[in-house]
Amino acid sequence: MRRKDSEDLVRVGPGTAMGEMMRQYWMPAAKSSEVEADGAPMRLMLLGEQLIAFRDTSGRVGVMDHRCPHRCASLFLGRNEENGIRCIYHGWKYDADGNCVDTPNLAGNPGFKNRIKAKAYKVVERNGLIWVYMGNRKVAPPLPEIEATLLPESDVTITFIQRECNWLQALEGDIDTSHFGFLHAGAIEPEVVADDSLFRFTVQNRAPEYHVTDTPAGTMYAAYREADPAHTYWRFANFMMPFWTQTPQGKFTEHLHNRAWVPMDDHHTMFVSLTWRQHPPSVGADKHGKMMPGFDRTFHFLPNTTEWHGRWRLAGRPVNDWMVDRAAQKTGGNYSGIEGIHAQDQAVTESMGPITDHLFEKLAPSDGMIMATRRRLLKAARALAKDGTVPPGVDDPDIMYAVRSGDFITDAKMNWRQAYDAQMRASFRPLKQAAE
């Protein structure tokens, strides 16, 4: 890793290689429920830009630079009224597209407003999410066909959680091939796992072998271990451009979920998770149906505030050592001493600092997926910067749909590609079934 490689990967502000690539895609920015018609504007940080989001009287959502184009007073203080946001400084008003529709302090000059436009971005709502396009195309690309985002809001669990670290190190926790057997399950012995749970193979062998490959949408890994005699236990996971992941914690044919790691700025990330309610992640219960130590999936949030980084913060944070319980770590069967799989991931990625020092890292063979994903990102970002090559998935969003993750067992004679393709053919597709 060269310093230039590291900088290009982690910096997301305007004009940066990764930031410009991110701006080619639609991004999930907030829950639809977070803004109400004629309600208070919400501060929104995306790709290092300080924005506001508001829902006007007619229900349209506007996302724009928080500064009024007149004298740069913050429109967060504005009055959301009569289909627009009005700056309280001089009364200038803007609609959801950023058009100035009123300049009441300019007597006798009604046409002046036509020369003014706020910096506003294209916005679309779909299935409970507010999507924002921050690119410079006059006609935005199509929305991504990411399977879990296509389901009705009533069919998915949508979770937002903020992390106090760079987007890349947060995302890389999802594509790490071997940490689950330690961070989350290091104190779990195979004999306590339910007999019908494939998770027992993870704790029987905490050092899997793996295959890593590029895909049209991004990258994929297939971690594998010996299962019962003449059988292989597989765990597939995916990275999809520019910041989407799928983890292997569930039955492949039914484990329908997607996660976005949306950069707020270089030091803060918004985790956006969508999980099909019909088949939630299955890891956690022991032989008696009791939750194993450390596997709790309850999130404990601090109250939201109106600060730039005031939304969806967990109670466990760097300032309180992520609430690590040393007694539980030592004698309570909780390897990390931190309660909750997500909280454990959050602690280790935030503990790396705001941005990981990649030049200090000593990557190992088990980090093949991480290395491949970094190369994929750099290649796409630099191709865009050099000759305008459109990144994967921007104009061909259907490549995102043909991706799944999860675990399963096959005959040991099957190779990774045969195993994956067979599972894809057998996978339940709720949208397709509903259409039929």
- pLDDT > 90? residue 242: yes
Instruction: State the residue range of the domain holding 43.
Output: 26-140
Residue 280 vs residues 37, 273, 276, 293, 406: alpha-carbon distances, Å: 32, 12, 6, 19, 12
Same domain, 41 and 171: no
Q: Is residue 79 part of a domain?
A: yes
| Whole-number pLDDT of residue 102 | 97
Identify whether residues 126 and 238 lie together within a single domain: no
Looking at the domain assignment, is residue 14 inside a domain?
A: no
Domain boundary among 119, 140, 161: 140
The DSSP bridge partners found for residue 407 are: 235, 251
Query: Does residue 17 sit within a domain?
Result: no
Radius of gyration of the chain (CA): 23
Percentage with pLDDT > 90 across the chain: 88
287 and 324 co-located in one domain? yes
pLDDT of residue 232: 97
pLDDT average, residue stretch 388-417: 95
**End of a domain among 112, 140, 168?**
140
Structural contact between residues 140 and 395, judged by C-beta atoms closer than 8 angstroms: no
* pLDDT value at residue 197: 87
Domain endpoint, select from 85, 117, 140: 140
Interacting residues of 229 by C-beta distance below 8 A, sequence separation 6+:
none
State which amino acid sits at residue 90: H
Q: Indicate if 161 and 109 belong to the same structural domain.
A: no
Per-residue confidence band for 436, with pLDDT thresholds at 50, 70 and 90: low
What is the structure's pLDDT at 349?
A: 98
pLDDT (tens digit per residue) in 109-162: 889 999 999 999 999 999 999 999 999 999 999 999 999 999 999 999 999 999
What pLDDT was estimated at residue 285? Answer: 77
Same domain, 163 and 129: no
Claim to verify: residue 326 and residue 180 sit in the same structural domain: yes
Q: In the structure, what pLDDT confidence band is assigned to residue 282 with cuts at 50, 70 and 90?
A: low
Q: Are residues 127 and 188 in the same domain?
A: no
Same domain, residue pair 375 and 417? yes
- Supply the pLDDT for residue 175: 97
Binned at pLDDT 50, 70 and 90, residue 39 comes out as very high
Mean pLDDT within 238-245: 98
Q: Do 217 and 256 share a domain, yes or no?
A: yes
The answer to whether residue 216 is domain-embedded is yes
pLDDT tens, position by position, 299-319: 999 999 999 999 999 999 999
Q: Mean pLDDT score of the chain, rounded to an integer? A: 95
**pLDDT at residue 284 greater than cutoff 80:** no
Does residue 281 have a pLDDT over 80?
A: no
Q: What confidence category does residue 249 fall into, taking pLDDT thresholds of 50, 70 and 90?
A: confident
pLDDT tier at 194, thresholds 50, 70, 90? confident
Q: Is residue 195 part of a domain?
A: yes
- The structural domain count of the chain equals 2
Q: What is the pLDDT of residue 25?
A: 98
User: What is the secondary structure of 285-319 as a DSSP string?
Assistant: BBTTSPBPTT------BPPP-SSTT-SSBBS--GG
The model's confidence at residue 288, banded by pLDDT at 50, 70 and 90, is: confident
Residue 195 banded pLDDT, cuts 50, 70, 90: confident
Residue 15 lies in a domain: no
Mapping DSSP to helix (H, G, I), strand (E, B) and coil, where does residue 48 land?
coil
**Average confidence (pLDDT) over 1-7:** 95
Q: Which two tokens stand for residue 247?
A: 């983890």
Given this model, what pLDDT does residue 310 score? 98
Residue 179 shares a structural domain with residue 48 = no
User: Among candidates 150, 392, 162, 167, which has minimal Cα distance to 258?
Assistant: 150
Tally of CB atoms within 10 A around 44 = 25
Q: pLDDT tens across 410-421, in order?
A: 999 999 999 999
* Same domain, residue pair 376 and 230: yes
pLDDT of residue 435: 67
**What pLDDT is attached to residue 41?**
98
Which CATH number do you get for residue 129? 2.102.10.10
Same domain, 100 and 187: no
Res 103 pLDDT > 80: yes
pLDDT in tens, 43-93: 999 999 999 999 999 999 999 999 999 999 999 999 999 999 999 999 999
pLDDT value, residue 196? 83
Higher pLDDT, 105 or 436: 105
